[in-house]
């Protein structure tokens, strides 16, 4: 692992920064006990990669599952409102978190607001089997704390270019499932799906990869099947 020393402009100490694209920052929280509660699945990825559209597709595909959703936005409740307008769930089953800070802070560093949202849903719907927690749009380093979620999905999109998977980053390399989204756009942006798939499998060391287009398969069958397996 390559390490350099980085000096913070706002502090009087330095701290190590890893440039290994497979290494995430240390998780500050212990893994949450899973007994007696809903399974929690996090959905992260860059801005515009299609996270909210995927969450909506999962809500439709898993309509027989007692589920709820927590969305994260920095300043607004836009993603929650999108899901409510789409009619994919009872609006009472959608909680919005406004992080007021970098999205990864609320899913990894200080997870209190998201845990409060999950607890509110659990109190409102005691039979919950699944809670999907959508991160705000972030970069390739964004991963969820295992104190918040049991499993993580990371979404990248073809429009970002076929170089994205080989850039790595803990989101790409360590998430339990990587989704390469919007494959229908590949001919329009000159992206090579073979390259993207090959690079993704290479950097993920056997962890699963799904290529999908919600235009072609609106119910996201491969991802929905993966989620069902987690239940």
pLDDT in tens, 141-192: 899 999 999 999 999 999 999 999 999 999 999 999 999 999 999 999 999 9
Confidence at residue 22, expressed as pLDDT on a 0 to 100 scale: 66
Q: Which residues of 157-189 are buried (b: 16+ CB within 10 A; e: fewer)?
A: bbbbbbebbeebbbbbbbbbbbbbbbbeebeee
| pTM attached to this predicted model | 0.89
Confidence at residue 33, expressed as pLDDT on a 0 to 100 scale: 85
Q: What's the rounded Cα separation, in Å, for the pair 210 and 85?
A: 27
DSSP 35: T
The DSSP result for 119-133, as a single string, is HHHHHH-TT--EEEE
Confidence at residue 34, expressed as pLDDT on a 0 to 100 scale: 84
Confidence at residue 11, expressed as pLDDT on a 0 to 100 scale: 45
Higher pLDDT, 35 or 84: 84
Q: Which residue, among 133, 107, 209, 126, has the nearest Cα to 164 in the 3D structure?
A: 209
Confidence at residue 21, expressed as pLDDT on a 0 to 100 scale: 67
The helix (H) or strand (E) run that includes residue 3 is strand 3-7
Q: What's the rounded Cα separation, in Å, for the pair 60 and 64?
A: 9
Q: What's the rounded Cα separation, in Å, for the pair 1 and 20?
A: 6
């Amino acid at each position: 692992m390559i390490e350099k020393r980085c000096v913070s402009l706002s502090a009087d100490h330095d701290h190590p920064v890893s440039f290994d694209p497979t290494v995430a920052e240390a998780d500050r929280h212990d893994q949450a006990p899973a007994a007696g509660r809903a399974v929690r699945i996090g959905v992260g990825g860059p801005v515009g990669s299609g996270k909210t559209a995927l969450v909506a597709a999962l809500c439709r595909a898993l309509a027989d599952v007692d589920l709820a959703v927590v969305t994260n936005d920095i300043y607004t409740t836009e993603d929650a409102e999108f899901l409510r307008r789409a009619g994919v769930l009872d609006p009472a089953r959608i909680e919005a978190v406004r992080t007021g800070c970098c999205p990864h802070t609320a899913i990894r560093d200080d997870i209190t607001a998201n845990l409060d949202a999950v607890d509110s849903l659990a109190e409102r719907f005691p039979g919950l089997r699944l809670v999907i927690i959508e991160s705000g749009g972030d970069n390739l380093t964004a991963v969820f704390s295992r104190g918040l979620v049991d499993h993580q999905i990371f979404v990248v999109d073809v429009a970002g270019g076929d170089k994205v998977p080989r850039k790595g980053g803990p989101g790409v390399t360590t998430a339990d499932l990587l989704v390469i989204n919007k494959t229908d756009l590949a001919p329009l942006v000159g992206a090579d799906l073979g390259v993207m798939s090959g690079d993704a499998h290479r950097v993920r060391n056997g962890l699963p990869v799904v290529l999908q287009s919600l235009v072609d398969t609106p119910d996201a069958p491969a991802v929905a099947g993966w989620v069902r397996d987690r239940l």
